[in-house]
Structure 1
Amino acid sequence: MTSFSRGQRVIGASPHYVLNQPPFRTEIDEYALNTPLVDAVQAMGAGWADADLREAGTLVGSTSFQQDAHTANVHTPVAYSHDRWGFRLDEVEYDSSYHRVMSAAVARGAHTSAWAEPREGASVARAAMFMLFAQVEPGHACPVSMTHAAVASIKDSPWVADEWLPRVYSREYEPRLLPNEEKNSALIGMAMTEKQGGSDVRANTTTGVHMGGHSYQITGHKWFCSAPMSDGFLVLAQTRRGNTAEGLSCLFVPRLLPRGMRNVFRIQKLKDKLGNRSNASAEVEFDGTVGMLVGEPGRGVRAIIEMVQRTRLDCVLGSAAGMRQAVAEATWHARGREAFGAKLVDQPAMTAVLADLALEAEAAMLTGLRLAQLFESDAGDRDVALRRLATPVSKYWVSKRGPHHAYEALECLGGNGYTETFPLARRYREQPVMAIWEGSGNIIALDVLRALTRDNESTLAFANELDSTKGASPLLDAHVDRTLRLLDELAGAEPSEAQRDARRLSEWLALAFQSSLMLRHAPSLDAETFIAVRLGEDRAAQYGVLPRGTDAAAIVARH
């Protein structure tokens, strides 16, 4: 077990003093120390949330919270299918540390504050709060994100929304499975994918038979059910009324029916995952399970599309939060350790690596907050069009940058980074899930291609976004021109030919978007260096290869 305290170590009768090791990185304000985030929150209309974010930053930077984050990933969830007498139980037990993390995040609105209290900058403030918690303990962010995103699907179906949204908006956290009449809060999970289909949800075979009103009886199996301890779930099923097939529909499945009766929700097993270990993911079976229609019959994909956009947004935010943790831990280590007669942070090779990692983290954070702006409650038609394209573009690129970024930061700690008692080993295992969840690379790249070829409004909105910094950087202008030429080529190409360049196009669009954001919101040194390193002729595949003459120390100091 990791001990989050320092002091003299004793071996036998002789004192053993630990030398040349940095102090534990605890009892700090993770928000106030993150200057780029503080500046971006202010610039993007959420400065009014500063006090709340500082309070949360102090909390997640505390020794107790970091200990809970560690413990929740060591004492992982356990599923119980039956109780001691053989009755179906189908519950997941979590360590108390996980419940403390969840309670803190929910109490501060990391889940649904932007929905519950809409105002200018509410989505940006919620995004910043989400990142602060996900930076230190990422596993709990899965149910927090799904609860946030589910509102988009539920809100237009009053037969579900009227009862459930007040509970979803609550800042209480109640982990027990209680009758709906006794519980004032709720978390929402999802059960979409099946073993034969994966991302191809139209291949789902789970069925739903109409019972009357908005209710269906569901039969089938789900290969991945995220956060199976949740109070309700969004489920995709092939529905029918009588002898009429309706097609793929979205259904809301409560864990408990009226008067505390348990809905059929059989937890077969928990997935043994690479990372995201504090959060449970399960295989579940439905057998006469009751669900209520969300949206229109046979329009299940349409019912979940806005939900998917929001979970993809949170994949960007979660990846950016992980990058921030990686930069913060690596820089802290480098400032507190000497080698070859000097602090690591002052040695040019290390300084360059830290600066490059910091630039990547800043660009990812700005991308996430800009996307959050596009989801504000008062978003206009242009913002809605822009987010349809910018969200998959950003999700594709930022989530793919996460694992390599985490590895490079881990290496800055040397052998310590490779041990589980330091947080970067956990972060390295965590980052890949952002690239897989809500569509792996090829799925996202093809979504980008479809948006560009079928949605002219999104294409125009994206081009207009890039026009805002036209002329500020010749390198970026040349990159944008090259990207738009590729777009024109793919628009007229055969689908199979266009697919081969879908990843290239997604990457180029993402880099253009990030570079434009850096020009607008980062200091000129950071913006110009980022553009040179990512778009210049001598750009490198590895972190730490900066243009000669770059003041890397100034970049590191800001972060």
Structure 2
Amino acid sequence: MAAQTSAPARLRSPSTTHDVTNQPPPLTPYDASEDTALLEGLRREGAGWAEDEVRALGVRAGGAEAREWGELANAHPPVLRSHDRYGHRVDEVDFHPAWHRLMEVAVGAGLAGAPWADDRPGAHVARTAGGLVWGHAEAGHGCPTSMTYAAVPALRAQPDLAAVYEPLLTSRVYEPGLAVPTGKRGLLAGMGMTEKQGGSDVRTNTTAATPTGEPGVYTLRGHKWFTSAPMCDLFLVLAQAPDGLSCFLVPRVLPDGTRNTFRVQRLKDKLGNRSNASAEPEFDGTVAWLVGPEGRGVKTIIEMVNCTRLDCVMASATLMRASLVEAGHHAAHRRAFGARLSEQPLMRNVLADLALESEAATTLTLRLAGAADRAVRGDAREAAFRRIATAVGKYWVTKRGPAFTAEALECLGGNGYVEESGMPRHYREAPLLSIWEGSGNVNALDVLRALRRDPGTAEALFGELALATGADARLDGAVRGLRDQLTTGSEAGARRLVERIALVLQASLLVRHAPPAVADAFCATRLAGDWGHAFGTLPNGADLAAILGRALPGTA
């Protein structure tokens, strides 16, 4: 019997089960500098002359090329080569080409040490604004640029060393690879402070520094637990000299061209970005030059810490803004239950609340940058304000980062949980900024220390707050309460005190500089308590349309 035959079944087109609908178009390209609060702060803090450069950098940061560099640099992490093929110790860290492209743009834009060589008022503000926009491209490479920026004022404690290396640390030329430092066109600097037994308690460091017969030259023996960016040319390292904890300059390559002993034991497998390398180096007869007097290592690095803490605030504010832009873009195009997400009252409340937090963080960041700029030009009052406000900002803004990025990620739903969205990278990065350069407790205690040891810091803080006196009754009441809180503050309550200082300071800046809708909503929620425990709990009277129209015009 012949086999029965039939016409072949019609196959469905594969696209019929995978038609792409109701998905937002790609965000890229976009302009990362299209941020009203940022541009207003840039002008207000004395760097309006840099606006064109910041805008150009913002366009590049949101472009397809830079976004791809960020993805590639994290998809292909750095690799340690401890030895060459013949068995010689080399301790090199190899990076994907995308990392070098990111670094080239960052250094060329002056985001490393360049402001120290720029006499224009506002140079440090311009750098901070540049970081706020270029950070949209990728976060990890901000580490070596930040440390290079911070190394310059510390190195000035030893004028003879600064005369040699500062012109290279302030260069806008990125030249990777290990070579004699003075033979390169530009240098990067790292730092080695933390050891296993001490963490932030650097006075317990055990790395030993032994004087040689040459004045100012020592040899180091010991081990560091966290040293980021081990491919840098120079490192500022803390070690115990005969007269106590001291700061030293350690080059990877010595003036005669030989490799200094800088054994990279391993790279850390860490939370956060994958693009940067954090290492454990070992010193054994490592040649180092003393920076500042023996026994004054902590004092020598104070200026470095002020700079890197500012950059932690900047990086956290950058993550907030980048996450907000992603969430706003998604909500403006995604539809659910018959309307765009951005048209739905509850989502509008969430986005507006995030926008408030982002603007407060950005405004405070640029105010801190302005204080830093004026402090390095000799303004004592601004130096006192910077001393306390930077620690306050470092504590609070970086604490808000993880909760903010989590909420912004949730705005994308399941799409936000997928690596391709970029949101998981923001979320993993956010906790770093609270830990790096002193955890929350360290910064809170530093604020208490500043208030107790130097009455000028409290005077500078309240002088700043007084500029908004009479503009908002809730703010005036909060300032009075803060004065009372200072007199009764204890170490156990340091976090509560610093949180209150941060909120009052942010509110005073917004009352003075932001539109009424923004300032009113911030004071009502953050100061007067008309707020829930999560983002998206702004009160009924908040002008959501005005807040969104300022921060995310596409969702207003």
Q: TM-score range by the shorter chain?
A: over 0.9
Q: Give 1:553 shift.
A: 2.3
Q: Give 1:14 shift.
A: 6.3
CA distance in 2, matches of 1:329, 1:537: 28
CA distance in 2, matches of 1:77, 1:467: 49
Aligned equivalent of 2:529 = 537
- Map 1:320-469 onto structure 2 (within 5 A): 320-376=317-373, 377-469=376-468
Q: Is the 8 A contact 2:165 2:182 kept in 1?
A: no
Matched, 1:269 2:266: yes
Query: Counterpart amino acid of 1:315?
Result: C
Matched, 1:278 2:275: yes
Residues 194-232 of structure 1: per-residue CA shift (max 9 Å, x gap): 000000000000000011211110000000001101000
Query: Counterpart amino acid of 2:366?
Result: L
Aligned with 1:259: secondary structure?
A: coil
Aligned with 1:472: secondary structure?
A: coil
CA distance in 1, matches of 2:332, 2:208: 58
CA distance in 1, matches of 2:499, 2:201: 23
Report % sequence identity: 51
Residues 29-69 of structure 1: per-residue CA shift (max 9 Å, x gap): 211x2121112111221111111011101111110100111
Aligned equivalent of 1:193 = 194
Query: Counterpart amino acid of 2:150?
Result: A
Residues 534-558 of structure 1: per-residue CA shift (max 9 Å, x gap): 1123222111111213221221121
- Map 1:180-219 onto structure 2 (within 5 A): 180-211=181-212, 212-219=214-221
Of the candidates 17, 20, 29, which is equivalent to residue 18 of structure 1?
Answer: 20
Change (3 A) 1:11 1:220: farther
Q: Is the 8 A contact 2:62 2:136 kept in 1?
A: no
CA distance in 2, matches of 1:384, 1:396: 19
Aligned equivalent of 1:494 = none
Q: Is the 8 A contact 2:154 2:300 kept in 1?
A: yes
Aligned equivalent of 2:548 = 556
CA distance in 1, matches of 2:513, 2:208: 49
Q: Give 1:113 shift.
A: 2.6
The number of residues matched between the two structures is: 537
Query: Counterpart amino acid of 1:558?
Result: R
CA distance in 1, matches of 2:328, 2:446: 37
Q: Give 1:179 shift.
A: 2.4
Matched, 1:177 2:178: yes
Query: Counterpart amino acid of 1:504?
Result: R
Q: Give 1:260 shift.
A: 1.5
Aligned equivalent of 2:8 = none
Change (3 A) 1:184 1:13: same
Consecutive unaligned residues of structure 1, counting only runs of 5 or more, are: 1-9, 241-245, 491-497
The range that moved more, 468-477 or 224-233, is: 468-477
CA distance in 2, matches of 1:553, 1:215: 63
Q: Give 1:444 shift.
A: 0.7
- Map 1:249-328 onto structure 2 (within 5 A): 249-328=246-325
Consecutive unaligned residues of structure 2, counting only runs of 5 or more, are: 1-11, 552-556
Q: Is the 8 A contact 1:111 1:130 kept in 2?
A: no
Aligned equivalent of 1:46 = 47
Aligned with 1:260: secondary structure?
A: coil
Query: Counterpart amino acid of 2:289?
Result: M
RMSD: 1.3
Aligned equivalent of 1:4 = none
Q: Is the 8 A contact 1:180 1:260 kept in 2?
A: no
CA distance in 1, matches of 2:224, 2:455: 36
Change (3 A) 1:507 1:13: closer
Change (3 A) 1:189 1:11: farther
CA distance in 2, matches of 1:24, 1:113: 34
Query: Counterpart amino acid of 2:535?
Result: Y
Q: Give 1:12 shift.
A: 4.6
Q: Is the 8 A contact 1:27 1:62 kept in 2?
A: yes
Query: Counterpart amino acid of 2:454?
Result: D
Query: Counterpart amino acid of 1:380?
Result: D
Q: Is the 8 A contact 2:194 2:200 kept in 1?
A: yes
Q: Give 1:181 shift.
A: 4.2
Q: Give 1:135 shift.
A: 2.6
Query: Counterpart amino acid of 2:435?
Result: I
Aligned with 2:226: secondary structure?
A: strand
Aligned with 1:335: secondary structure?
A: helix
CA distance in 2, matches of 1:317, 1:247: 33
Query: Counterpart amino acid of 1:476?
Result: L
Q: Give 1:15 shift.
A: 9.2
Residues 295-326 of structure 1: per-residue CA shift (max 9 Å, x gap): 11110000000110110010000000010001
Q: Structure 2 length as normaliser, TM-score?
A: 0.95
Q: Is the 8 A contact 1:136 1:325 kept in 2?
A: no
Residues 261-320 of structure 1: per-residue CA shift (max 9 Å, x gap): 100000000111110321110011000001101111110000000110110010000000
CA distance in 2, matches of 1:364, 1:100: 28
The range that moved more, 462-471 or 14-23, is: 14-23
Aligned with 1:421: secondary structure?
A: helix
Matched, 1:547 2:539: yes
Aligned equivalent of 1:526 = 518
Aligned equivalent of 1:5 = none
Aligned equivalent of 1:106 = 107
Q: Is the 8 A contact 1:26 1:63 kept in 2?
A: yes
Q: Give 1:159 shift.
A: 2.4
Aligned equivalent of 2:90 = 89
Of the candidates 238, 241, 247, which is equivalent to residue 239 of structure 1?
Answer: 241
Q: Is the 8 A contact 1:109 1:171 kept in 2?
A: yes
Aligned with 2:250: secondary structure?
A: strand
Aligned with 2:136: secondary structure?
A: helix
Aligned with 1:250: secondary structure?
A: strand
Q: Is the 8 A contact 2:113 2:170 kept in 1?
A: yes
Matched, 1:514 2:506: yes
- Map 1:123-142 onto structure 2 (within 5 A): 123-142=124-143
Query: Counterpart amino acid of 2:546?
Result: A
CA distance in 2, matches of 1:469, 1:117: 32
CA distance in 2, matches of 1:327, 1:378: 35
Aligned equivalent of 1:119 = 120
Residues 56-113 of structure 1: per-residue CA shift (max 9 Å, x gap): 0111111010011111111111111111111001011111111100100100001123
Aligned equivalent of 1:243 = none
Residues 147-188 of structure 1: per-residue CA shift (max 9 Å, x gap): 001111012312211111111111111111122343111000
Q: Is the 8 A contact 1:357 1:405 kept in 2?
A: yes
CA distance in 2, matches of 1:524, 1:116: 39
Q: Give 1:11 shift.
A: 7.2
Q: Is the 8 A contact 2:181 2:187 kept in 1?
A: no
CA distance in 2, matches of 1:367, 1:400: 14
Change (3 A) 1:11 1:291: farther
Aligned equivalent of 2:488 = 489
Q: Is the 8 A contact 2:72 2:98 kept in 1?
A: yes
CA distance in 2, matches of 1:39, 1:379: 25
Aligned with 1:190: secondary structure?
A: strand
CA distance in 1, matches of 2:146, 2:132: 11
Q: Give 1:140 shift.
A: 0.4
Query: Counterpart amino acid of 1:29?
Result: D
Q: Is the 8 A contact 2:61 2:135 kept in 1?
A: no
Asked which structure has the greater CA Rg, the reply is 2
Aligned with 1:90: secondary structure?
A: strand
CA distance in 2, matches of 1:179, 1:307: 24
